[in-house]
Amino acid sequence: MTGSMKVAVMNGIGKMGFETRPIPVPKDDEVLVKLEYVGICGSDLHYYENGRIGDYIVKPPFVLGHEPGGTVVEIGKNVKHLQVGDRVALEPGKTCGQCEFCRTGKYNLCPDVVFFATPPVDGVFQEYVAHEAGLCFKLPENVDTMEGALIEPLAVGFHAAMQGDAKMGQTAVVTGSGCIGLVTMMALKALGVSDVYVVDIMDKRLDKAMELGASAVINGKEKNTVEEIMKLTDGRGCDLVIDTSGTEICVKQGMEMLVKGGTLVLVGYSASGNMNLPTSLICDKEITVKSVFRYRHIYPMAIKAVAEGKVNLKGIVTNIFNLDDIQNAMDKSVHDKADIVKSVVKIS
């Protein structure tokens, strides 16, 4: 396919614009995807507000967006498992395949990963992308491309749940009910966890958590979270805490509400990059602390969970913006966090 496409670019902190670029040509092992929906992630907003995340620094013009879903419009000559017209979810990170992490299956830890919207690699707020076919997952008939775009954050939620060894019969608490907190809650429920309680300080997000299946919610600004969890569990505490808030107070409270031998999974990044945690409590209760960096081997399972109705991905979407409205989309997502849970950009 020849021609040009519209690309939304970040021209500086808080500044979006557009460029016209050639439609990419897929390599032999790639497919060309006409993008239809791309989710706005917290990392996109962080780059937009601050121009960097740690050592990853935006050099404008830069393309944000790494949660894509779309339709295959062209295939490379070596591609056998996809056809033109297939709707797909795109896993955004291409790894080297040769390092010790790739060879042992922990490819998300590959030091040479090329990941959409992680500087200097452009993202996909654009009309087309050429992507490795092995990272494009065909969607069942009953899963649309908006849901396909949201498989990426759902993969984080499933990876967090699996890092915590979530299983039927357990009681879990998710701290933070933004997008990642909500998909984590739904992943836990899909894996059979009996009771999942959600903690936040924003009522609209807590309402959304209840709507999507939380067993109960707690506003941590209004109530003592630990005391409430103890009441809900008849004084026992919970088996698993997954923190998506990245706040020190939530992590500490999570340790207090865990049963002895329980597990804490860290998903959210703290603003400072550091936390002061009670190591004596960790030792006394023999708490297992695990962490999450993106995901691995999750897309097929996540897609199946959506197809089988175990996860309501569309339920997390509160706002849909057109690509032409990208400046407003980013600004509202930054400044209206109390009301916007998840924004999605409609590309076409």
CA distances from 143 to 139, 290, 307 (A): 6, 32, 6
Q: Is the pLDDT of residue 337 over 90?
A: no
CA 9 to chain centre: 21
5: Cβ–Cβ under 8 A, 6 or more apart, which residues? 20, 21, 22, 23, 126, 127, 128
290-305 confidence digits (pLDDT tens):
999 999 999 999 999 9
Please give the structure tokens belonging to residue 230. Answer: 């103890």
Instruction: Extract long-range pairs of 200-207: CB within 8 Å, 24+ residues apart.
Output: 200/175, 200/176, 200/245, 202/177, 202/337, 202/338, 204/338, 204/339, 204/341, 205/177, 205/178, 205/181, 205/341, 206/177
Query: How much of the chain, in percent, has pLDDT values that exceed 70?
Result: 100
179: Cβ–Cβ under 8 A, 6 or more apart, which residues? 39, 41, 42, 153, 316, 341, 342
153: preceding bond cis by omega (within 30 degrees): no
**Structural contact between residues 179 and 316, judged by C-beta atoms closer than 8 angstroms:** yes
Torsion-angle region of residue 98: left (phi > 0), alpha (psi -120 to 50) or beta?
Answer: alpha
CA distances from 187 to 81, 155, 173, 182, 287 (A): 27, 9, 12, 9, 22
How many other C-beta atoms can be found within 10 angstroms of the C-beta atom of residue 307? 15
What is the Cα–Cα distance from 160 to 163, expressed in whole angstroms?
5
pTM for the whole structure: 0.97
**Structural contact between residues 30 and 131, judged by C-beta atoms closer than 8 angstroms:** yes
CA 107 to chain centre: 17
- Evaluated on CA atoms 325, 326, 329, 334, the torsion sign reads negative
pLDDT band at 191, cuts 50/70/90? Answer: very high
Q: What is the pLDDT of residue 273?
A: 85
pLDDT band at 192, cuts 50/70/90? Answer: very high
What is the Cα–Cα distance from 332 to 315, expressed in whole angstroms?
19
Q: Domains of the chain (ranges plus CATH)?
A: 4-138+318-346 (3.90.180.10), 156-291 (3.40.50.720)
251-295 confidence digits (pLDDT tens):
999 999 999 999 999 999 988 889 999 999 999 999 999 999 999
Residue with tokens 């907003």: 45
Residue with tokens 């922990």: 106
Q: Are strands 4-12 and 15-22 parallel, antiparallel or unpaired?
A: antiparallel
Instruction: Give which of 278, 282, 9, 19 is closest to 122, Cα–Cα.
Output: 9
50-109 confidence digits (pLDDT tens):
999 988 999 999 999 999 999 999 999 999 999 999 999 999 999 999 999 999 999 999
Q: What is the pLDDT of residue 29?
A: 98
Terminal CA-CA length for the chain: 17
238-245 mean pLDDT: 98
